[in-house]
Amino acid sequence: MYAKKRIVKIFDYIIIATAAALFAAMVLSSCNDETQNTITYTVNEPVYMSFSEFRTPLPVKAAQEVVNPGKICLYGNYIFINEITKGFHIVDNSNPSSPQQVAFIDLPGNIDIAIKDNLLFADSFIDLVWFDITQPAQPKAAGRLEEVFPNVLPPVNNEYPVKEIDNSKGVVVGWEVKTITEKEPARYYPYPWGCPTCLYNGFEAYSDGSKAGGVSGVTAITGSTARFAAYGDYLYVVTSSMLKVFALSGNTVTKGNEQYLNWNTETIFACDRKLFLGTTTGLLIYDITNPAAPARLSSLSHVMGCDPVVVQGDYAYVTIRGGNACGQEQSLLDVVDISNPSNPYVKTWLSMQSPYGLGIDGDMLFVCDNGLKVFDASDPLQIGARQVKHFTGISGVDVIPYNNILILIGNDGLYQYDYSDIRDIKQISVLKVTKN
């Protein structure tokens, strides 16, 4: 009996040892000849420009056709029109009835422009650059601050993810959509994103530009969709999450204070020692009595929407555009009482269709909404009942009203209107955009 049990025991050991050996062989085999899966995914692969090429000043070029217009800035008799991410056009507007394009400046990554004391400040992807425009038609490169706008990338016009960025290769100036097929080891838990080690999504796209007008110390007027504001001896810049301050002294620009903004900020307007920041969720007001260190005064929340702001006297006018990526469906024009900047509140509002930029001059408010709408703002609380004109058939994005001439930039051109007679506002010129 004892011998029989021993034989059975030995047999059990043999079975266990054999199973263990087979398992070990399988593991070793898998290590030496790992199973490979083939995956295919589509990404935006970065296109680089070397730092040396990126930072080489380019000569003034002959006038070029306007193809994809962005922000505008009025400086004396000249209009500067941003060509989105490409540079800016220079237009001699001595005769608003017949504006003349005179030059073009190549500036990769440019979106915004602000001007003070014959210096034009502009973004160029990650850098801030400035030009001497003593002769506006012949700008001269005057200086550059490098990498003051980190994580800035060109816009992505699709839903594909972004491939990992290699900053050692230079500045990302564009994207190339590529479909990639490659092998990777089989996984017990497959990743749903294709190749997670190859993709990078954590970037902040810096776009949009500058606003300041009609106040002491400001030497140029920009549109309401601006992210740059030159005020006094300072340049203020907002990105979606930061307020940055630059001190100006002659041709010297010094990076100063910066503050984190926990609101998705889109625009800036400087007026009466205050900064008014338009965000997707409300209005922020900062005191710049100490211009080097803006201090937050107050905030006013509203429904989700894209919203530039302009200010005159005790009222701020805010357009809130709904739909698409801007949030809720309703679009509005809010009239905000700011007589106590520490406690702003909406006094009245007016329903809009799809508003963009706006501007105010005296008793006249101009709003880009399904074209251009003009309101008598002599009584801000009755503005809804005082629309005096609606120009349709144009694609208005932003406006600059000054000295009885309204400059409007749209997707289809640069329009100008004479509003010296509120009862008889006339279009006096148009510089058409060349479509691709």
277: left (phi over 0), alpha (psi -120 to 50) or beta: beta
**How are strands ordered across the β-sheet holding 199-200?**
171-185, 36-49, 162-163, 199-200
Interval 194-229: pLDDT, tens = 322 222 222 232 223 333 333 333 358 999 999 999
**How are strands ordered across the β-sheet holding 221-222?**
100-106, 87-92, 78-83, 69-75, 221-222
Q: What is the pTM of this model?
A: 0.82
Judge whether residue 26 has pLDDT over 80: no
Point out the least confidently predicted range of 227-231, 279-283, 397-401.
279-283
**Distance separating alpha carbons of residues 173 and 153, to the nearest angstrom:** 7
The two tokens of residue 334 are 């809010």
Judge whether residue 170 has pLDDT over 80: yes
The two tokens of residue 110 are 């440019």
Judge whether residue 22 has pLDDT over 90: no
Judge whether residue 90 has pLDDT over 70: yes
Q: Which one is predicted more confidently, 239 or 254?
A: 254
**Distance separating alpha carbons of residues 402 and 322, to the nearest angstrom:** 29
Judge whether residue 424 has pLDDT over 80: yes
Q: Which regions of 14-112 does DSSP assign to beta strands (E)?
A: 36-49, 69-75, 78-83, 87-92, 100-106
Q: Which one is predicted more confidently, 72 or 11?
A: 72
For residue 39, what pLDDT is reported?
84
Cβ-in-10-Å burial (0-12, 13-18, 19+) of 88 comes to: buried
Percent of the chain whose pLDDT exceeds 70: 81
38 three-state secondary structure: strand
Judge whether residue 124 has pLDDT over 80: yes
Q: For the CA atoms of 85, 91, 93, 95, what is the dihedral angle to 10 degrees?
A: -140
Mean pLDDT of 9-23: 42
Computed over every residue of the chain, the mean pLDDT equals: 83
For residue 36, what pLDDT is reported?
64
Mean pLDDT of 348-359: 93
